[in-house]
Structure 1
Amino acid sequence: MNERFEKLNEEKVFKDPVHRYIHVRDRLIWDLIGTSEFQRLRRIRQLGTTFLTFHGAEHSRFGHSLGVYEIARRIIDIFRSRGDWDESQTQLALSAALLHDVGHGPFSHAFEKVFGTDHERFTQELILGDTEIHDVLAKVSADFPVQVADVIGKTYPNRLVVSLISSQIDADRMDYLLRDAYFTGVSYGHFDMERIWRIMRPSEDQIVFKLSGMHAVEDYIMSRYQMYWQVYFHPVSRSAEVILTKILHRAKVLYESGYSFGQTPLQLIPLFEGGMTLQDYIRLDESVMLYYFQTWQQERDKILSDLCGRFMNRRLFKYVQLSKDQLIAEDALTDAFREAGIDPEYYLEVDSSSDCPYDFYRPGEREERQPILLLMPDGSRHELSQESDVVASITGKRRTDHKLYYPKDSVLALPESSAVRKKISELLHFPT
């Protein structure tokens, strides 16, 4: 039987706290889940350093990827029941939904910032390269791995399939909002997902939504907005990410200077040297990184040792809010830190968070933003913000937040009477 259509002898199920059960009926999906590259996602947290803020946020990209697959599967079932789905696209859509995050590295964003890696590129390489995933996909047909990579890369010609996992309201975002809200314990990310499924209608170029369900879409948009500012951009999580970035940067600088590590980071050397292969990348996960952070607490280099101790024991940097009207004299602060013996390269950081909750493409703009379209009773399609006052109020409005992170404990450890401590305290606007 063609691998594309082969069913399992018995349906497999994963018990899931968000979707109750995740159902696997296809041999192709079951085999992809069993690959070593997909199992690696169990060892990569979905929310990076957020577990240091919300202690329940230990969930993995493995669970999220299964969730995206399940949402895509249920949407396709609904479309199929109405006779609105091309069955030849099913396995392609489900495979892309399952594999969309397979290229993520440990602590993805900090990792990519220091080493210049790109999880989207590695996702493509894992699908197209010499991997177990590629071997499974190639059993369908020789060009099937390319098709899956094209869907994830948003270049596949069937825009409906692409929009299922890559749009402003897609299976990926629906799962991570609900899953992240569940594991962080917050109420912000909840919305009526099943209502959204029921008002979805496939069209040639993207999924559209019936006007009668507009309020469910509004709720989704606002849930996303709240999750970004209350969870994803939480200042404590950002502090941990700043320290993580500094650890990786310091380790790289030390390696390049010929420093002799007490615990040589063998798995990181290809990264330091800029010659990392796909196989080198696959071997990296958060258990590897945390092992080095744990052992580096005993390193002779005081900066690396201190930063690792801060991360492992949650002694994070404090922050001051920077508003548009408030300026910190960064040069003076840098000089004061240096005078105090606190290296500003590793202990001072301005971190910026920015998000636009909803926008749409405007002629002349480079960045493509596929709009959310409402299906009107007369069959016409209207862009969401034309009908929703709630969404119109935030459309195209980018909110940006700036904070300066620093080790307040190190400043307070300076002699109380010292001029440099007083100077730093004044510049940072906290009492001595």
Structure 2
Amino acid sequence: MAYKDDQLHEEKVFKDPVHRYVHVRDLVIWDLIGTKEFQRLRRIKQLGTSFLTFHGAEHSRLNHSLGVYEIVRRILINFEDRPNWNREERILCLCAALLHDLGHGPFSHSFEKVFKLDHEEFTRAIILGDTEVHQVLSKVSKEFPQKVADVINKTYHDKLVVSLISSQIDADRMDYLQRDAYFTGVSYGHFDMERILRVMRPVEDQVVIKESGMHAVEDYIMSRYQMYWQVYFHPVTRSAEVILTKILHRVKELYGQHYQFKVEPTPFISFFEGKVSLEDYIRLDEAVVLYYFQMWAEEDDSILSDLAYRFVNRRLFKYAEFNPNLQMNDWMELYQLFKDIDLDPDYYLVVDSSSDLPYDFYRPGEEEERLPIHLLMPNNELRELSRQSDIVEAISGKKRTDHKLYYPKDLIEKLADDRPEKAKIQKILNKQER
């Protein structure tokens, strides 16, 4: 029997707070879970800085990856005897589901922006490079690692396989919405996943939903909408991300100035120099980053030590509503006032913007083309979801954007009352302060 078909002598299960159990019977999946690259995901939080807003949000990328695998495993059981499904793709789907987030770095998106990295590129590099993951996948076949990378990269020839892991209703989203809701303690992310899994059907190039399951999908889309604005874009979380980003910018700037650190930031040097090897990337996790943040809180550089102290001890920036179209003059005045009080506005006056498009229909040629969700009607015709659902139609294609202005209120308040800059700064900020 080929390695890809090898089964464990008895099924292994992981207790899971969202799915109750994650079931593993395939040897290749068990071997992948045991690799050091997959185990590294224990040390990468799923929600980045959200633990500073929601104290329960300490779950990891490993938790989520196992959850996505479990959802795909259950979908494929339902697909087993249905037309349009190629059973030979089963183990490929399971491996891609398990490994789809393999390349995430510490504090994921904030870290990527500062060092101009792409976690998807590192996911492919881990799968295709000299790694334990690659060794396991290569035991299936010489071509198998490339197939897994292609599915995650959305370039695999069978678009049905890709849609299970990457679409507007995929296993990835279905897991993180429920998991993130559970660990943050909010109720927004809950929807009837059991119902959705039962009404999923494989057709050529995509997964569709039986028309009778439309209301469960409506609930899923609204859950996603609420989670983005109540959890993922929470203004306090964004304040922590702003400080995190500015810490990394400051360290990078100081390194370029040949600043003498009390503790040499050795794990970061290749990132500062833009020469990051796969080994460097895998070695860096959030435990390492948080250690250095504590060390940097003791640095002689006042900006770095202040920002690091703020992050470690949750002394976050306050925020005000900000409209870049109407309030740019206010921002320019604040920028100069901050300079006048020796508070570097490049580090202490930050506009942060968040935007989301909860659902969209197909807009060919546009950036990030989104394949729509299709309903399978009783007459076997496919109908795009927003044409059948008034709820989804109401939010389709509507991008919502929010802007916040972040600043250290505590430092402004410490200014002497007789300083004219203090009154001017407070007057501007009080217009929309929260």
TM-score with structure 2 setting the length = 0.98
Q: Could you tell me which residue of structure 2 aligns to residue 367 of structure 1?
A: 368
**Worse-superposed segment, 362-371 or 341-350:** 362-371
Stretches of 4+ aligned residues off by more than 6 angstroms: none
Amino acid at match of 2:412: V
1:310 and 2:306 are equivalent in the alignment:
no
1:212 and 2:199 are equivalent in the alignment:
no
Alpha-carbon offset, residue 341 of structure 1: 1.1
Q: Could you tell me which residue of structure 2 aligns to residue 223 of structure 1?
A: 223
Q: Could you tell me which residue of structure 2 aligns to residue 111 of structure 1?
A: 111
Q: Give matches, 1:36-47, under 5 Å.
A: 36-47=36-47
Q: Could you tell me which residue of structure 2 aligns to residue 13 of structure 1?
A: 13
Alpha-carbon offset, residue 364 of structure 1: 4.5
Alpha-carbon offset, residue 87 of structure 1: 1.6
Amino acid at match of 2:117: T
Consecutive unaligned residues of structure 1, counting only runs of 5 or more, are: none
Amino acid at match of 2:391: V
Distance 2:78 2:380 in 1: 20
Contact 1:46 1:60 in 2 (8 A): yes
Distance 2:81 2:18 in 1: 24
Q: Could you tell me which residue of structure 1 aligns to residue 387 of structure 2?
A: 386
Amino acid at match of 1:68: V
Distance 1:381 1:83 in 2: 16
Q: 1:209 is paired with a residue of what secondary structure?
A: strand
Q: Could you tell me which residue of structure 2 aligns to residue 165 of structure 1?
A: 165
**Worse-superposed segment, 366-375 or 295-304:** 366-375
Q: 2:209 is paired with a residue of what secondary structure?
A: strand
Alpha-carbon offset, residue 216 of structure 1: 0.2
Alpha-carbon offset, residue 362 of structure 1: 2.3
Alpha-carbon offset, residue 86 of structure 1: 1.7
Distance 1:223 1:167 in 2: 16
Distance 1:362 1:227 in 2: 25
Consecutive unaligned residues of structure 2, counting only runs of 5 or more, are: none
Distance 1:407 1:100 in 2: 38
1:354 and 2:351 are equivalent in the alignment:
no
Alpha-carbon offset, residue 386 of structure 1: 0.2
Alpha-carbon offset, residue 324 of structure 1: 6.7
Q: Could you tell me which residue of structure 2 aligns to residue 419 of structure 1?
A: 420
Distance 2:103 2:27 in 1: 22
Q: Could you tell me which residue of structure 2 aligns to residue 399 of structure 1?
A: 400
Contact 2:84 2:204 in 1 (8 A): no
Q: 2:3 is paired with a residue of what secondary structure?
A: coil
Distance 2:369 2:421 in 1: 50
Amino acid at match of 1:303: I
Q: Could you tell me which residue of structure 2 aligns to residue 144 of structure 1?
A: 144
Q: 1:208 is paired with a residue of what secondary structure?
A: strand
Q: Could you tell me which residue of structure 2 aligns to residue 333 of structure 1?
A: 334
Distance 1:284 1:185 in 2: 29
Q: Could you tell me which residue of structure 2 aligns to residue 72 of structure 1?
A: 72
Distance 1:135 1:425 in 2: 60
Alpha-carbon offset, residue 85 of structure 1: 3.0
Amino acid at match of 1:428: L
Q: 1:201 is paired with a residue of what secondary structure?
A: strand
Q: Could you tell me which residue of structure 1 aligns to residue 26 of structure 2?
A: 26
Q: 1:365 is paired with a residue of what secondary structure?
A: coil
Distance 2:280 2:368 in 1: 33
Contact 1:351 1:403 in 2 (8 A): yes
Distance 2:311 2:19 in 1: 33
Contact 2:83 2:202 in 1 (8 A): no
Contact 1:361 1:367 in 2 (8 A): no
Q: Could you tell me which residue of structure 1 aligns to residue 345 of structure 2?
A: 344
Q: 1:46 is paired with a residue of what secondary structure?
A: coil
Distance 1:192 1:420 in 2: 55
Contact 2:321 2:405 in 1 (8 A): yes
Q: Could you tell me which residue of structure 2 aligns to residue 180 of structure 1?
A: 180
Contact 1:59 1:183 in 2 (8 A): yes
Q: 2:351 is paired with a residue of what secondary structure?
A: strand
Amino acid at match of 2:230: Q
> Which deviations, in whole Å up to 9, do the C-alpha atoms of 1:383-425 show, x marking residues without a partner?
0000000000000000000000000000001001210111111
Amino acid at match of 1:412: E
Q: Could you tell me which residue of structure 2 aligns to residue 276 of structure 1?
A: 276
Q: 2:5 is paired with a residue of what secondary structure?
A: coil
The count of residues paired between Structure 1 and Structure 2 equals 431
Q: Could you tell me which residue of structure 2 aligns to residue 90 of structure 1?
A: 90
Distance 1:318 1:293 in 2: 21
> Which deviations, in whole Å up to 9, do the C-alpha atoms of 1:220-257 show, x marking residues without a partner?
00000000000000000000000000000000000010
Contact 2:105 2:284 in 1 (8 A): yes
Alpha-carbon offset, residue 354 of structure 1: 0.2
Alpha-carbon offset, residue 208 of structure 1: 0.4
Amino acid at match of 1:355: D
TM-score with structure 1 setting the length = 0.98
Amino acid at match of 2:295: T
Alpha-carbon offset, residue 83 of structure 1: 6.0
Amino acid at match of 1:189: G
- Cα distance, 1:219–1:142 mapped onto 2, change above 3 Å: same
Identity between Structure 1 and Structure 2 (%): 67
Alpha-carbon offset, residue 363 of structure 1: 4.0
Contact 2:293 2:312 in 1 (8 A): yes
> Which deviations, in whole Å up to 9, do the C-alpha atoms of 1:123-174 show, x marking residues without a partner?
0000000100000000000000000000000000111100000000000000
Alpha-carbon offset, residue 368 of structure 1: 1.6
Contact 1:4 1:28 in 2 (8 A): yes
Distance 1:279 1:168 in 2: 33
